[in-house]
Structure 1
Amino acid sequence: MKPRHITGWKATVAVSMSNYIDSGSIIAIATSLGFWGAAYFPGDNGRIAGLLAAFSSNAFGAAIGALIGGPLCDKYGRKFIYTYDLLVYALGGLIVTFAANLPMLFVGFVIIGLAVGASVPAGWTYIAEFAPTSERGRHVSMTQLAWSFGPFIGFGLAAALAPMGLLGSRIIFAHLVVISLVTWYIRQGLDESAKWTEAKGGATAKPPSMFASFRGLFTRKANITALLFLAAIYTFWNLAASQNGIFLPTILTSMGYGTLAADLFSMLSWAVVIVATIIFMSLVDRIPYRWHFFVGAALAVVSWVVLVFGSPTAAFTAFAYVIVWGLSAGPSAQAFYAVWSPELFATPYRAGAQGIVFFTVRLASGLISLIFPVILKGPNGLIIDGLILIGFLVVNLLIGTIWTPRTQGKSLEQIEIERYGEPVSVVGAQQGSTVTSSGTAAAK
């Protein structure tokens, strides 16, 4: 039976599920590392846990997947990625679910990361290309909402299944496999992006070469400045966010909380993120980008200041941290990156550029994941790690607030002409077509 044809908000939700299984896999890893460690690498001082985290969907695995998937998405189309990515994810999830040793676990984590990396940038691109201009931010923000539900449900399952030990962790990964396969089936009812089809010169035109796309990406000043800006805000924010996501249970247990309490605190944090993201969705197309971004970035800094300088034995410290961080995650750098990255690049470069930025972000997360748990276990580990991350968050606040893009309320075609000085999306212009001021193809 063929899946039903889907458009509009149904398509947005289907595409956004990539973000749910991305964050869901990160939390599944975060809540299971202790159980895997007891079974397959007892006595670990944090190095093996850090290595697994670094090569998972939290870091290197997703980084490499994005670097491969982004250019493929620009060359073969947005729907091309959706034909295969979640099947690869399901394979990795099954390997982890039935892992019998450390090598199987490592391979499964890497495969999941590759699939996530290929899928997430394609999702932001696809949604932005079909969403109405007046609601583009709201549609793209659905990916952030889906991302928020991953940890909320993941930590809830972890708390409920904790008495089952490693079996409970396997069940959490199994549920992600089921969701990925159901989502894959639904996505087969998606249309190809009309903007991508138009940009390559029509449905029957030959796709542009990846070399030509990369050459155009790196030879245009508008692309380079956008790459630097987006990589800066997303990387500096994500260095803190990634450690919060995958090591929050470890941070809380280092403060004296038990495993169950750590999972419940984490679940509370993500409940607040969900509420904050819903508020963000309602405001992103109406509130000026600059001040909206500033509020989220400032709250992120405050949350880590509370965690680092508050009393580690006071319940208020953990409670205040999870609440304030959760509120900051609505208008976060990731949420604005999802909105800005499709806006700042023309169609031929859009997914490839996002793949490069996503690669940079997750690569940096992987590097810090190798050392964060080691420092955390040492003397004054939380203070040292926290001060470093506060510094990153301050840099994110300054860059994002000072150089906020002026793209709000404008169509992708209008933004393209303003940034490049001309419409560049129709590759088919070399094959006998031109572009009108609205960005549509017109026969010569």
Structure 2
Amino acid sequence: MVESKTYDDAMLSGTHFKWTLIASLGDFLDAGMLAGTGITLLAISSLLHFTTFESGLPALISLLGCAFGALTFGRLGDKFGRKFIYQIDMILYAVASILLAITGIFSSRIVNIVWSMIFYALIGIAVGADVPTSWSLITEFSPKNYRGRLMSITTIMWYVGVLVELGIAIALYNTGMILFRVIWIFLGIIAIISWALRRSLTESPRFDMMKGNKSDLERSAKLLNINISEEENKKFTIKKYAELFTRYGWFLLFAWFLYLMWGIPASTYGEFFPYIFSSLHLVSLRTTYAFEAIYFGSAIVPGLLIFYYLSDRIGRTPLYLISAAMAAISFLLLVYPPFLKNVYVLLSSFLLFGIGQGLGVWPTTRLLSMEHFPTSLRNSGQGFVWFTMRFEAGIFGLFTPIIVAIGVEYIGLISGIFFILAFTVVFLLYIIKPEYVKTERKSLEETSYDEVI
């Protein structure tokens, strides 16, 4: 057995990648919820005769479910463990997705709407429970020199989820509710597979250390091919939930800000891309799906080839600043109305945002929102910022169809301003308070000031 002082200093292994990929299925299903809602919105809107206002309901309900799921299960993940959440959330996602797929079985329009909204909400709750928990688990077993690399896989899995759904949408183009039902049944099946695969995962080693679960800790050490030293077999001070807002309040505010600046533009594209660009009447719906695939697909390459290799070397901040600038430009291109009639300008805008977000904005936001919270509050902190992001995005989503009806350029203006603000704040912190953004190659105890006893 190879000796290693700590989990932080362990060599990157196939087990790390295996656990990360299995945990990242939560991101695949989060993308499935967002993209699936957008891809199937026109079909369900036509079936249930939605008004412009009602067209925002699927996004609102799923995002609010996600928000409250994150807030509730985030805390439970710190009390009962990351793996405890895994035993519940994927079953909920699977059942709700498959039941959503049979929307339209009742003769009453109102009953069908209520039926579908209940299951949109349950899918959202499952996603809100799962993704913050998955990220906590991954960060807590990742070696400190490879944390950015492993967390970048979660981002890539998210984009893969969207691309798979877009492939289905292009293949089943113009089939209406057939597409709707296939998408949601497919996601239900993936959720069942995720639940089955996750049964092989161990608990987070840091959670085991905190709770004194020695036998489970030894199992994870054996699978990672390391020895547990006295230094590693340590206990953490368990902090009260109130300390999340008092002692870690500034870090919580910073994470909230990053999520807000990212979450509104990203959720708008994730759930309303076909709706927004169909309203421009430039290309067919199938071509709109192809444009969306270009947009999301373009994020995978910089994520794999740049962030994956450089985030733990040169750091998160340079990549974040470059990508935030690219994202701002991409949306500001939409502010000039004549550009909205030019397919090539629109393609350039999609590519800029796609490449930019994969290069740094989204994976860095994920990392910085995890690294500043201690083990006993990490899931709670992530759950709270997810609650704020998805709640705000849900409210914005409710009014997105109305904004689109007024003018797509206002979507570009709002999102462009958000990314300008994100660039400015992160740049200033890099100069004035570098400990907020320079977290590469540091242990989670260093970045969160966790006390070990």
How would you bin the TM-score normalised by the shorter chain?
0.7 to 0.9
Residue 180 (structure 1) aligned to one of 174, 191, 200: 191
Shift of 1:276: 2.1
> Equivalent residues in 2 for 1:226-375 (5 A)?
226-256=251-281, 257-279=283-305, 280-309=307-336, 311-375=339-403
After superposition, give the CA deviation of every residue in 1:355-392 in whole Å (9 maximum; x if it has no partner): 000000111101111112112112xx112232122111
Shift of 1:203: 5.1
Asked if the contact 2:163–2:293 (Cα under 8 Å) also holds between the matched residues in 1, the reply is yes
Asked if the contact 2:319–2:360 (Cα under 8 Å) also holds between the matched residues in 1, the reply is no
> Which 4+ stretches in 1 moved above 4 angstroms?
none
Secondary structure in 2 aligned to 1:408?
A: coil
Q: Distance in 2 between matches of 1:255 and 1:394?
A: 26
Asked if the contact 1:269–1:323 (Cα under 8 Å) also holds between the matched residues in 2, the reply is yes
Residue 3 of structure 1: aligned partner:
none
Asked if the contact 1:161–1:169 (Cα under 8 Å) also holds between the matched residues in 2, the reply is no
> Equivalent residues in 2 for 1:145-164 (5 A)?
145-164=156-175
Residue 219 of structure 2: aligned partner:
none
Shift of 1:71: 0.3
Partner amino acid, structure 1, of 2:48: Y
After superposition, give the CA deviation of every residue in 1:258-289 in whole Å (9 maximum; x if it has no partner): 21111110011111011122122122111232
Secondary structure in 1 aligned to 2:299?
A: helix
Q: Indicate whether 1:392 and 2:401 are aligned.
A: no
Shift of 1:400: 2.2
Q: Distance in 2 between matches of 1:122 and 1:225?
A: 22
After superposition, give the CA deviation of every residue in 1:210-237 in whole Å (9 maximum; x if it has no partner): x9631232231xx111100111011112
Asked if the contact 2:445–2:451 (Cα under 8 Å) also holds between the matched residues in 1, the reply is no
Asked if the contact 1:157–1:172 (Cα under 8 Å) also holds between the matched residues in 2, the reply is yes
Residue 193 (structure 1) aligned to one of 204, 208, 211: 204
Shift of 1:164: 2.1
Q: Give the length in aligned residue pairs.
A: 404
Shift of 1:401: 2.5
RMSD: 1.9
Q: Distance in 2 between matches of 1:13 and 1:162?
A: 30
Q: Distance in 2 between matches of 1:9 and 1:331?
A: 20
Distance change in 2, residues 1:71/1:203 (3 Å): farther
Residue 63 of structure 1: aligned partner:
67
Partner amino acid, structure 2, of 1:113: G
Partner amino acid, structure 2, of 1:334: W
Partner amino acid, structure 2, of 1:87: I
TM-score, normalized by length of structure 1?
Answer: 0.87
Residue 432 of structure 1: aligned partner:
none
TM-score, normalized by length of structure 2?
Answer: 0.86
Asked if the contact 1:341–1:354 (Cα under 8 Å) also holds between the matched residues in 2, the reply is yes
Q: Distance in 1 between matches of 2:446 and 2:100?
A: 46
Residue 118 of structure 1: aligned partner:
129
Residue 220 of structure 2: aligned partner:
none
After superposition, give the CA deviation of every residue in 1:335-372 in whole Å (9 maximum; x if it has no partner): 11221222111101101000000000111101111112
Q: Indicate whether 1:216 and 2:243 are aligned.
A: yes
> Equivalent residues in 2 for 1:24-39 (5 A)?
24-39=32-47
Q: Distance in 2 between matches of 1:235 and 1:155?
A: 26
Asked if the contact 2:244–2:252 (Cα under 8 Å) also holds between the matched residues in 1, the reply is no
Q: Distance in 1 between matches of 2:214 and 2:401?
A: 50
Partner amino acid, structure 1, of 2:353: W
Q: Distance in 1 between matches of 2:264 and 2:347?
A: 22
Asked if the contact 1:15–1:187 (Cα under 8 Å) also holds between the matched residues in 2, the reply is yes
Residue 58 of structure 2: aligned partner:
52
Q: Distance in 1 between matches of 2:134 and 2:159?
A: 16
Q: Distance in 1 between matches of 2:23 and 2:215?
A: 25
After superposition, give the CA deviation of every residue in 1:376-415 in whole Å (9 maximum; x if it has no partner): 112xx11223212211121112122222422111112333
Partner amino acid, structure 1, of 2:358: G
Q: Distance in 1 between matches of 2:37 and 2:148?
A: 30
After superposition, give the CA deviation of every residue in 1:150-208 in whole Å (9 maximum; x if it has no partner): 11111121111123221112101111111110111000000011101111344599xx9
Ranges in structure 1 where 5+ consecutive residues have no aligned partner: 1-5, 426-434, 436-444
